Amino acid sequence: MDKEPDGVVIEGTGLGHAPVNAFDDLTQHHDHILDRIDRLSDTCLVVVASQCIHGRVNMNVYQYGLKIQEAGGIGAEDMHPELAYVKLMWSLANSDSQEEAEDLFLKNVNGEIGDRELP
């Protein structure tokens, strides 16, 4: 990359996880993914959305999500990756800092973040 991005959306699985645990020779590159999230979050907003059609990101359930949060990633609630991408661009364009952009991203502005769904 010539220039570091202002924001990144990671399209996670299920509750918003990504492969960040290395446990054998074939998964050693997972450490690099976590390291990159950590380095990116110093200078940009790193958002994790789920590929699931229904459901909400919950990064407090498994160690994958906890590690991503510790590295600086934030959950996109129940926004699909495409919506999270647009909301991230809007949040960055309407803020003066990474912290303000995060606050805007997590604020329900126009119904993009739904109420908790019960089965």
Cα–Cα distance, 1 to 31 (Å, whole number): 19
| Residues near 42 by beta carbon (within 8 Å), at least 6 away in sequence | 72
Residue 118 placed within a domain: no
In a domain, 25, yes or no: yes
User: Domain of 31?
Assistant: 8-106
Total number of domains constituting the chain:
1
In this structure, what CATH number is given to the domain that contains residue 13?
3.40.50.40
pLDDT of residue 117: 65
24: Cα separation from own chain's centroid: 25
The pLDDT value recorded for residue 20 is 87
Collect the ranges in the chain with pLDDT lower than 50. Answer: none
Whole-model pTM: value is 0.88
Q: What angle do CA 35, 41, 43 make, to 5 degrees?
A: 120
